[in-house]
Structure formats: C-alpha cells, structure tokens
Structure 1
C-alpha cells in the first residue's frame, strides 16, 4: 500500500510540477499584444547546462522583441540562439534558431523553431513548450521543454538576473 501511495504522489508531482504547457492543436491561439512581454527587455545572465547563459532582449519595435542567447562553458562559446517574440495579426509567436560557436546553423536553411502563444496568467506568459516568468524587475525564469535522445522531453529552467 505504501508503495502504491508513493507512486501516486510521484506521478501527481511530475504531472503538476511542470511550469510549461503544450498547445492542443484544435485550440485557437489566444490574442495578445507584444506589450505583454515588454518586461523581458534588458541584459540577463544565469547558469544552465554546466555553464553560463546570457540573453539580451531588445526594446519593442515593429511589433517584435528580438533576442540573442549565448551559452559558455569554461569561458568558451558552446552555442548561440537568435530569435524574437513577435505580434502577428493580434497573436504572439516565439521563434528561434540555434547556431554553433562558428555560427553554423543547427536547423535547416529555412527552418525556424516556432512556439505559439497559449495564455498569460499572473506573472507568467505561456507559449507552446516555453514559459516566461517575471520573478521581480531584476529576475526572470524561462522554462523550456527540451527533447532528449530517447524521444522524451524534460523541462529545464533558466534563471536570470538583470545585468
């Protein structure tokens, strides 16, 4: 009986302990303005994947906010991301591309990773597989679903402090 109870508690925690959501295909995206994520603007640093992470988000212009991401291990660039959150026809989308340290793209030439907006709730903005959380004016969390080699997904957290 104790084993069954333990497994139920673990299963409940794994289902409800997640900070990310996934969009149900049949559901229409929620309308939202780019102003909803204006608090991302700035220079942010943290740690993840055994190294230093850094993101720089631009001010809103042209109904978009662009960003650049850099991951360093032992003082050397591991990889980059470039992307944006943009407003298109009253809907938001988060898009990005990955590059190695020599700026060779991971994705195919015309391929872009795209994550549609799901909802805004309190201090969190949810995209399909990513959540942006304003902890304070000087701290944010970004939660993301990352694919594993076995085909499963794991949620990772990027905690950033404003520089």
Structure 2
C-alpha cells in the first residue's frame, strides 16, 4: 500500500512539474541555421583551469563551423574543430579533438556527434551538449563529459562575446 501511495505522489508531482514547465516553455523553432546565427562570433571564457576561445562562423554552405582552443599555463592543451549542419530536417553538431600539436584524438573517419533534441530562441539542446543564450554577448555551454569512474559530469562553460 505504501508503494502505491508513493507512486501516486510521484505521478502527481510529475504532472504538477509538467504543468509548471508547460507555462514557461519557449516556443520551439525550426531546426534551421538561420535560427542559430546568433552563435556567430568570437567567444572567450574559462574552463578546466585555463582560458578558452571558441570562434563560430556565420551560416554558409549549409553549415556553421567553429574552432575551440584551451590554453593552460600559456600553452595549448587541446583544440576542437566543430560544425553544425542541417541534415534530415534537423541539425547535428559534430566535432573532432586535437592535441596541442594538432594530432587527432579520434580516428581519421570518426567524429563525436550530437544530434539536436530541441531548439528555441534561447537554447540549442543537443544530445550531450547544449547552448544557452544569456544575452547577445553572453552564453553558457553545457557538456556531458565522462570522468575517470565512467560517470558523466555536466561541465559548464561561460562565454563572453568579444567580437
């Protein structure tokens, strides 16, 4: 009987949460590059004990591209090459990692892929990575990163637009 009561309470709580969320949910946007053009520019921040730079191009040729760099103690720790492209009526973010000497982490034909889950005027939510537009000159990026134990940590990057 206690189990049934507990399940009932959880269901009621979940329904209340969904009701609250549904009133504050942003309207979804079409998964088109022009709807994420705000991302274009040079963004700087701090993460992993160092300085980060992420530079996004304007949409062209069916994609946007970015370079990412992490600098620790005056040296590059790693780079990323990223793209967001339109595919099958959606968006996908793909990236490849490189060490400080531009040696690839992934195999030649391998990419890390993040399919789009939701797009609004203020958020791009990919499976494993999301972007939240705080203002025209600030954004937060959230990335799921596996730790040494195999668990997933949510890492936040706060960026300020410099150009």
Change (3 A) 1:80 1:145: same
Paired position in structure 1 for 2:78:
79
In the TM superposition, residue 143 of structure 1 has moved relative to its aligned partner by 0.5
In structure 2, the residue corresponding to 1:61 is in which secondary structure? coil
Tell me the C-alpha RMSD between the 2 structures. Answer: 1.6
SS at structure 2 position matched to 1:111: coil
- The 5 Å alignment of 1:117-156 reads 117-156=116-155
Structure 1 runs of 4+ with >3 Å offset: none
User: In the alignment, is the contact (CA less than 8 A) between 1:31 and 1:92 conserved in 2?
Assistant: no
CA distance in 2, matches of 1:151, 1:31: 35
Residue aligned with 2:35, SS: helix
Q: How far does residue 146 in structure 1 lie from its aligned partner after superposition?
A: 0.4
- Could you tell me which residue of structure 2 aligns to residue 22 of structure 1? none
**Matched residues, number:** 135
TM-score (norm 1): 0.79
The equivalent of 1:113 in structure 2 is 112
Q: Does the 8 A contact of 2:144 with 2:154 survive in 1?
A: yes
Q: 1:15 matched to which residue of 2? A: none
CA distances 1:43-85 after superposition (whole Å, capped 9, x unpaired): 0000000000000000100111000000000111000000100
> Could you tell me how far 1:161 is from its partner in structure 2?
0.4
1:81-96 paired onto structure 2 within 5 Å: 81-96=80-95
- List gaps (5 residues or longer) in structure 1: 1-29
Q: Which residue of 2 aligns with 1:4?
A: none
SS in 2 for 1:151: coil
1:122 & 1:92 partners in 2: Cα distance?
15
The alignment's TM-score, normalised by the length of structure 2, stands at 0.79
Q: Is the 8 A contact 2:83 2:94 kept in 1?
A: yes
Cα distance in structure 2, aligned partners of 1:43 and 1:75: 20
Aligned counterparts of 1:31 and 1:113: Cα–Cα separation in 2: 23
Displacement after TM superposition at 1:114 (Å): 0.2
